[in-house]
Structure 1
């Protein structure tokens, strides 16, 4: 009888031990995957502009290649402006339809360069960034947009190139905050490309106008923004928006200062023309940050100072008289 008792006890202990081992080995991992990290690692290997190499080409290059079949021009302005006047052989595609146009209408690989054109070059740069992230690395934006093509279209820049806040600029260095946590992405996807596809689909559905920040709003209420001046140290020292923090070249990579950006505050990015900033804003929004572009960049508030220091200032010298189709 005692032997039977010991035998039964041994059986129960063995079953309990096996059950514990089985339970530990099959316990599900309840931690969600870090989609942000997966997406960053995927994108940093395929986009150059996050390292400061912005794919912006001058109007002169486009003009010289009007007969070059390897150049394809896409005008994303409204159909009324397109009808008023556009570059020869340009096609009019609404911004929200760009991704489907690339997938279903053309074979992007047939072209050496696909140039996006808009009014000032800023929205074209934003969508160029989204398309490059999608894998179309032959997409470019035209510098100054149609504002540099012909005088008829230059009003956008001429009216917005101002020096209203030059007396409000500061020259002191504002330190970057310590690295924090990243935005949380919840697409439910595991692979970088799948996560990116979901993010791009969402962003193409939002008009670029939702990402525009007026310079006067930033000067009046700087505390409402985390202000990023993406520039060279020498340009930053010339004068910047009060409170603006300097980011340059590779500052927005995951192994440098990307995580110093706040995930719970509007990130207002600006560069000299606003076009470079548009590329960065697209990138940051794909990653889940709440980022906006200070419209027309430094040209919107320190145009004269840019001219005096030989920097990228819009003026009548930037306006050509190239032909258009009406």
Structure 2
């Protein structure tokens, strides 16, 4: 009898071990792809705080003013090939594109700096790189506009609009709400695999920017704030100083459950460069997100006491020899 009881006990223990082992090998069907990828990112040094740590630098901080090169970095220029070749580029910079930035980065032998026209689209590229293992990739602040005035596209995009949809200081932001997370379609249940797919999808979608004012065929965020979920990515004291776009929320730090996945999320900051990073991050996670191009420099430029475009440097550059 004792032998029989021991046998039954052994069988029971083995059954428990077998079932537990099977559970470990099976993905919980109640865990969404969104939760899987965000948990993976949080566990692997890709929280919002970590992704934004040291992500931007100025030309004056990295240039060698004797050679006008950037010797400590691998400079990737994502402007058009024509502008890179004929208008000019930083000596030593290699041409790439937003769509191919991660693939091309495999050739980098130094930390990467991405440069574009104004610093807008470079934020998307840097976010893609940081989510792909290049955790020290940086954006060149102001883009090539900051390198030399021949490249300046910033000066023509600063404005004092005095728009009716700008809520004057001390501002009035909407109270934060709780929303559902977006749904992500994925061919894999693995966090790393989902992230790989989503970064590729974000890059394939191109730069997601929006203007403040309506265009001939486009809707502006400032002209039509009620059409969007607008997020002011400032500190509270900055809203008190300058005001905000009407209907805007202020979700900073970025809390994902406070963002409406059913709406187009427009993030704005001072210059459009930080909001480009935020927008890329949100699109990777399945949100429909856009960055307000040129930020409030394009809305209340004259009012700004800082965080504003000033002037280009006068650094040398080279053109591609035919």
Same fold (TM over 0.5): yes
Deviations 1:175-203 (A, max 9, x none): 33321211011203222111001111212
Contact 1:72 1:115 (C-alpha < 8 Å) held by counterparts: yes
Deviations 1:88-129 (A, max 9, x none): 1001112211121123xx1x4x31x21100000110111101
Task: Choose 1 or 2 for highest CA Rg.
Answer: 1
Mean CA deviation greater in 283-292 or 176-185: 176-185
Contact 2:251 2:258 (C-alpha < 8 Å) held by counterparts: no
User: Residue 228 and residue 123 in structure 1: after superposition, are their counterparts in 2 closer, same or farther (change >3 A)?
Assistant: same
User: Residue 68 and residue 271 in structure 1: after superposition, are their counterparts in 2 closer, same or farther (change >3 A)?
Assistant: closer
2:237 counterpart residue number: 234
Contact 1:54 1:276 (C-alpha < 8 Å) held by counterparts: no
Give 3-state SS (helix, strand or coil) of 1:175's partner.
coil
User: Residue 29 and residue 199 in structure 1: after superposition, are their counterparts in 2 closer, same or farther (change >3 A)?
Assistant: closer
1:76 counterpart residue number: 78
Q: Which runs of 5+ in 1 are unaligned?
A: 1-21
- TM-score by structure 2 length? 0.81
Measure, in 2, the Cα distance between the counterparts of 1:191 and 1:30: 12
1:322 correspondence with 2:322: no
Give 3-state SS (helix, strand or coil) of 1:246's partner.
coil
User: Residue 320 and residue 70 in structure 1: after superposition, are their counterparts in 2 closer, same or farther (change >3 A)?
Assistant: closer
What is the root-mean-square deviation of aligned Cα atoms in Å? 2.3
Measure, in 1, the Cα distance between the counterparts of 2:70 and 2:48: 26
Measure, in 2, the Cα distance between the counterparts of 1:187 and 1:49: 22
Q: Which runs of 5+ in 2 are unaligned?
A: 1-18, 214-219
1:62 counterpart residue number: 62
Residue from 296, 308, 317 that aligns with 1:313:
308
Aligned residues: 283
User: Residue 40 and residue 161 in structure 1: after superposition, are their counterparts in 2 closer, same or farther (change >3 A)?
Assistant: same
User: Residue 136 and residue 81 in structure 1: after superposition, are their counterparts in 2 closer, same or farther (change >3 A)?
Assistant: same
Contact 2:84 2:95 (C-alpha < 8 Å) held by counterparts: yes
Of Structure 1 and Structure 2, the greater helix share is in 1
Shift of 1:263: 0.9
Measure, in 1, the Cα distance between the counterparts of 2:53 and 2:226: 30
User: Residue 183 and residue 120 in structure 1: after superposition, are their counterparts in 2 closer, same or farther (change >3 A)?
Assistant: same
Measure, in 2, the Cα distance between the counterparts of 1:138 and 1:93: 18
Measure, in 1, the Cα distance between the counterparts of 2:115 and 2:27: 48
